[in-house]
């Protein structure tokens, strides 16, 4: 699948400020739909009356609407960033320990691991993210510090940090993740102690950022590997394309096919209500609404991205 737009794609025709305002007005009429991630106690009581959306062009220009500066925990969106760190550390050797296929099962499923001998289907389901976390722990020295530095550099926000209340809440209810980690460990596919892997995983999921932060943090995937926030090349253009492909095929849990059908953009969601999306070679986006659908994706966030791709024609298809 070719996820590239022509590098000369003309975006001047789009009034992004007006488009975002139109989407915001439509979304407000549907506040209250979906339900928060109530299996994490710290997220269970988030009211369903907030929405934010931000986009960042390749030159760094930002357009935003609603509560785009309201922090929330990024949850599984962080898997994009830890995957980038792991690929930077070990390259294609990562694919000996985690596959690149859509799962067809829920994000915290145990079923496939036994059939596939502890090799997770992809790096974005929880099992795969645990293996990726293990790789980062083994190869990045101070993994916690490295992740924080990476997120602060990509977003331009030096205050990005862990929400300790959410991290504790996830650890207290993370029985399925504990089971996944021990199961993978039994096949020799975790090299660090299970407790260390889970601590790092809960750290990455509980990072608190807002829509502008997150749209900036994945801008390198829209910029052929270049981050205009830091002025650095983060990954090669080839690797940016590969990460985008994984986001398209596995970034929204077992709803990836439906998401591709309705939105048509590489994306990664999190149960905190955020979704990041990429228009390759053009821009990056983030939406936030805490009410989830039955697949664990932001219900109105998905709608907002659907409307954006239809109003602008910016889809990879």
- pLDDT tens for 119-147 read 999 999 999 999 999 999 999 999 999 99
The per-residue pLDDT for 51 is 98
The per-residue pLDDT for 149 is 98
CB distance 75 to 252 below 8 Å = no
Please identify which of the residues 253, 282, 284, 289 carries the catalytic annotation: 253
Phi, psi values for residue 155, rounded to 5°: -90, -20
CB distance 97 to 135 below 8 Å = yes
CB distance 280 to 302 below 8 Å = no
Q: Residue 184, class by beta-carbon neighbours within 10 Å (0-12 exposed, 13-18 middle, 19+ buried)?
A: buried
pTM for the full model?
0.94
Rounded to whole angstroms, the Cα distance separating 185 from 83 reads 19
Mean pLDDT of the chain: 93
The per-residue pLDDT for 9 is 55
Is the CATH number of domain 16-312 1.10.3720.10?
A: no
79 is catalytic: yes
Rounded to whole angstroms, the Cα distance separating 74 from 268 reads 10
Q: In this structure, how many other beta carbons lie within 10 angstroms of the beta carbon of residue 28? A: 12
Q: What angle do CA 220, 223, 225 make, to 5 degrees?
A: 55
Please identify which of the residues 271, 278, 279, 287 carries the catalytic annotation: 271
The per-residue pLDDT for 104 is 65
303 is catalytic: no
Rounded to whole angstroms, the Cα distance separating 216 from 68 reads 12
315 is catalytic: no
309 is catalytic: no
Q: What angle do CA 221, 13, 278 make, to 5 degrees?
A: 15
Ranges of the chain whose pLDDT falls below 70: 1-10, 12, 104-109
Q: Could you read off the pLDDT of 49-77 as tens digits, one per residue?
A: 999 999 999 999 999 999 999 999 999 99
The per-residue pLDDT for 116 is 82
The per-residue pLDDT for 113 is 80
Phi, psi values for residue 274, rounded to 5°: -90, 150
268 is catalytic: no
Please identify which of the residues 68, 201, 229, 303 carries the catalytic annotation: 201
The per-residue pLDDT for 103 is 76
């Amino acid at each position: 699948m070719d996820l590239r737009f022509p590098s000369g794609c003309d975006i001047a025709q789009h009034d992004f400020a007006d488009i975002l305002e139109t989407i915001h007005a439509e979304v407000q009429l549907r506040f209250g739909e979906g339900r928060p991630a109530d299996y994490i106690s710290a997220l269970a009581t988030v009211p369903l009356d907030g929405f934010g959306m931000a986009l960042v062009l390749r030159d760094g220009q930002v357009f935003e609407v609603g509560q785009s500066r309201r922090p929330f925990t990024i949850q599984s969106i962080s898997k994009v960033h830890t995957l980038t760190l792991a690929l930077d550390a070990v390259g294609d050797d990562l694919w000996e320990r985690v596959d690149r296929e859509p799962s067809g099962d829920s994000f915290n499923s145990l079923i496939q691991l036994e059939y596939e001998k502890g090799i997770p289907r992809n790096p974005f389901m929880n099992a795969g993210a645990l293996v990726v976390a293990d790789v980062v722990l083994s190869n990045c020295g101070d993994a916690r510090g490295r992740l924080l530095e990476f997120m602060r550099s990509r977003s331009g926000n030096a205050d990005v940090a862990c929400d300790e209340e959410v991290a504790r809440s996830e650890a207290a209810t993370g029985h399925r993740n504990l089971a996944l980690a021990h199961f993978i460990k039994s096949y020799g596919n975790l090299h660090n102690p299970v407790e260390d892997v889970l601590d790092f995983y809960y750290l990455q999921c509980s990072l608190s950022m807002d829509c502008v932060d997150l749209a900036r943090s994945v801008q390198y995937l829209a910029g052929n590997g270049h981050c205009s926030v830091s002025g650095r090349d983060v990954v090669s253009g080839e690797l940016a394309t590969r990460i985008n492909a994984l986001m398209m095929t596995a970034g929204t849990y077992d709803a990836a096919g439906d998401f591709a059908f309705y939105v048509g953009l590489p994306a990664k969601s999190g149960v905190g209500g955020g979704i990041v999306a990429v228009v390759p070679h053009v821009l990056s986006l983030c939406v936030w609404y805490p009410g989830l659908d039955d697949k664990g994706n932001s219900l109105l966030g998905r709608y907002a991205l659907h409307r954006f791709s239809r109003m602008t024609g910016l889809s990879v298809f």
